[in-house]
Amino acid sequence: MLVLSITSAFAKTECDNPIILKMLKDEFSQSVEKNLDLYFYYRQKLFNPYFAEYMDEEKEKLDDLDRSQKYSPEEFNQILKEKIKNIYKDANSKFIGIVKQQKVEEDDSTYQYNQAFEKLLDPYIDYQLSKQQQAMMREYDGEEDAMITSHFKTDPSDEKLFEEIVQNSFNIQFTDIQELSKAKVSTFEITSCYMTLNLKQKNTTKNVNFKYSVYFDSLSNEMPLFPLNFYINDRESDFKELGHYLIQEYGN
């Protein structure tokens, strides 16, 4: 539940109260970001053990190559360096090829490939893979514990990049704001609203129509926003799943 203090006298109705609109916009952006963050978390939860297995397989191949004695130490060292210089992105490509074919039940411990999420997260995933790759190469060149240090190092660019993805892909504006109905029960007043959510993306604008309700208690100076009878494009929806819906339908 969002609790909004009423401080504006310029709104015609509760529906176009700028405080509510700002809170809605922030809520939508946070919901999208939260869903992307959760998707990436479960993606990494599956990718990390896969990468460990991938590394073991590649190490066995290199060990076999080393035992063959076909190459001098210098030649083998060059082969090794070439093999690992893009190993994270190589593993990620094979990982995607596998998970795209899998059908799994979504729960709190599994990950299922989603093209819309992957497309939005592509620059973030690429950034993370590049960081890990650079750390591996530094350790290969003699920087002790470079990979461990990189893993635990706080990187402000992580959060910034996530925010940029949301802002660039879901630049939200509200239009066609209407008051649909108003009902009063005791000291409570419930107003049903309708509006169009414009998602301004590069060279295009996509629209989402939705309805919601605001609830006002005349004995209070606060206005909670409830997901009562919440509809997206005339389809009853779960307010908590708005971020997932926007990514799925409009992230492509």
DSSP 93-135: HHHHHHHTT-----STT-----HHHHHHHHHHHHHHHHHHHHH
Q: Three-state SS for 61?
A: helix
Q: Angle, nearest 10°, between helix axes 115-140 and 242-250? A: 90
- HEC string of 166-212 equals HHHHCEEEEEEEEEEEEEEECCEEEEEEEEEEEEEECCEEEEEEEEE
pLDDT tens, per residue, the chain with 252 residues: 443 333 344 456 778 888 888 888 888 888 899 999 999 999 999 999 999 999 999 999 988 888 888 888 888 888 888 888 899 999 999 999 999 887 655 554 568 899 999 999 999 999 999 999 998 888 878 777 777 777 767 778 888 898 888 888 888 888 899 888 888 877 777 888 888 888 877 677 788 888 877 777 666 666 656 555 677 777 777 777 788 888 887 766
The residues spanned by each domain of the chain are 2-34+169-250, 39-167
